[in-house]
Structure 1
Amino acid sequence: MSKQLTLEQCMAFLNWQWDSNRRPVRSQIPLTKTAVTISRETGAGGHAIAVRLAECLQALSPKGSPPWTVFDRNLIEQVLEDHHLPARLAEHLPEDTSSQLDDILDDLFGLRPDSWTVVQETAETILRLAMLGHVILIGRAAAVVTARLPHVLHVRLVAPFEVRVERVQADRKLSRKEAEEVVRREDRGRARYWKRYYGADIADPLLYHLVLNTGRLSCEAAVAVIVQALRAGPASGGA
């Protein structure tokens, strides 16, 4: 369930979408170009829930429908390809670890394209994928980027700090202290990314259609709630 999707799988999705010889297929989900954004606290289970959600939505779609595809860390590979950037830049494009000082130094000394340009290019890729539909976009402030698209459902995943630390400790084979630091550092980095580039508060519940506590809900229960929300359709006008 936690397997990382490859760039080849992502490209298979894009190739299907861009094949002009295929006729559009009616989906059992109300909006045929529906997309989902997932914002998550570290350790809240974002990737596992997204992968399971994609499997469920695919099972609900008629045969021949485009594949539901998760874009998480592999979104970086898509950004690099879309904007003809060298692969080595992938290490400089995290949303959850670099500090503001790192950004400033890189911008000043030309160690990579300036951070604002990279964020803009990332937003362009997110918008393109969301407009194609049948995608689940994790992170990168996708809820803000796609806020004006009425067919996109926005989900925020949270959980108690202790629960998240235990998950990170088990998943990444870390000590308790190391896991606590990872959770704090990644949460700070994501919040800073939203604040610096979009002037938004990642924890603002009004930016989302759903805020789910995965300390209370299992992966399957969270997926069931999201699927039900997709069946009902996002509220008019988006988040």
Structure 2
Amino acid sequence: MSTKTIITIERQYGSGGHLIGQKLAEDLDIPFYDGELIKVAAKESGICEEIFESFDEKPTTSFLYSLVMDPYSLGYNSNSFDLPLNHKVFLAAFDTIKDIASKGPCVFVGRCADYALEDFDNCLSVYIHAPFEDRIKRIEDVYEVPSDKSKEVLIKKDKQRSSYYNYYSSNKWGDAKSYDLCLDSSYLGIEGSVDLIKQVIKMKEAQ
């Protein structure tokens, strides 16, 4: 199956969103960007990769932290030196997402990609969720998170993603109105979720 559509995926932690996006990109034979986006954005912006990783889907509003990190030495562009460091990193990722999307179809996971591409007519935004207990089981079995830590880790990760999305986006993380498609990966499974997204892409491109 070929496509002209760009797919963005926001996901609850432990819902399998990364794997669904990866398999979808493989089936469609298009590029996939999750953690890979950090490397591209760092290279394009001149901000070091370690700085991107420290702010990745974690909103940080501390002005003192930005001063300690010496934003003047980080580059990006001469007109943004007065911005907090977390804003510089977000804007660099934002610009990288738009630049990559302008070159053709691909799959983005997280990092407010749906918001960055809201003016792209060929973009399909997807939100992947699953029941709490199913996600706990997944992060214990697949991610090997210890059972005595899994609940704490899951809640923390979801809070980080939600806070990041709500801080930088005009939409609300997890609200059905913010996305074109919301699906329960525990009900559909990984392959079923991929197949459903592909069917929606076909419908969208047939319009």
TM-score bracket for this pair, using the shorter chain length: 0.7 to 0.9
Confirm or deny that 1:124 pairs with 2:83: no
Confirm or deny that 1:171 pairs with 2:146: no
- Which of 60, 69, 80 is the aligned partner of 1:110? 69
Percent same amino acid at aligned positions?
Answer: 27
Q: TM-score, normalised by structure 1?
A: 0.75
Question: What is the deviation of 1:135?
Answer: 0.9
Confirm or deny that 1:37 pairs with 2:12: no
> Following superposition of structure 1 onto structure 2, how do residues 42-191 of structure 1 map, counting pairs within 5 Å?
42-58=13-29, 68-95=30-57, 98=58, 100=60, 103-110=62-69, 114-191=85-162
Question: What is the deviation of 1:160?
Answer: 0.5
Structure 1 letter corresponding to 2:66: D
SS in 2 for 1:56: helix
CA RMSD of aligned residues (A): 2.0
SS in 2 for 1:176: coil
Higher RCO (CA < 8 A, seq sep 6+): 2
Give the unaligned 5+ runs of structure 1.
Answer: 1-26, 59-67
Distance in structure 2 (CA, Å) of the matches to 1:210 and 1:191: 18
Q: Which residue of 1 aligns with 2:182?
A: 211
Distance in structure 2 (CA, Å) of the matches to 1:117 and 1:100: 11
Q: Deviations over 1:87-131 (max 9, x none)?
A: 332431320xx4646x44422423555111111111001111122
Structure 1 letter corresponding to 2:37: L
Question: What is the deviation of 1:191?
Answer: 0.8
Question: What is the deviation of 1:28?
Answer: 4.2
Distance 1:205 1:45, change over 3 A: same
Q: Deviations over 1:59-107 (max 9, x none)?
A: xxxxxxxxx1110011111110111222332431320xx4646x44422
Native 8 Å contact 1:47 1:72 kept in 2 = yes
Distance in structure 2 (CA, Å) of the matches to 1:93 and 1:235: 39
Distance in structure 1 (CA, Å) of the matches to 2:133 and 2:95: 36
Distance in structure 1 (CA, Å) of the matches to 2:200 and 2:171: 24
Distance in structure 2 (CA, Å) of the matches to 1:111 and 1:196: 23
Distance in structure 2 (CA, Å) of the matches to 1:91 and 1:55: 25
SS in 2 for 1:42: coil
Distance 1:235 1:187, change over 3 A: farther
Structure 2 letter corresponding to 1:110: M
Confirm or deny that 1:230 pairs with 2:201: yes
Q: TM-score, normalised by structure 2?
A: 0.86
Q: Deviations over 1:197-216 (max 9, x none)?
A: 22431112112111010111
Pairs aligned (count): 195
Distance in structure 2 (CA, Å) of the matches to 1:154 and 1:227: 13
Distance in structure 1 (CA, Å) of the matches to 2:17 and 2:70: 31
Native 8 Å contact 1:43 1:168 kept in 2 = yes
Native 8 Å contact 2:34 2:108 kept in 1 = yes
Structure 1 letter corresponding to 2:135: R
Distance in structure 1 (CA, Å) of the matches to 2:195 and 2:43: 34
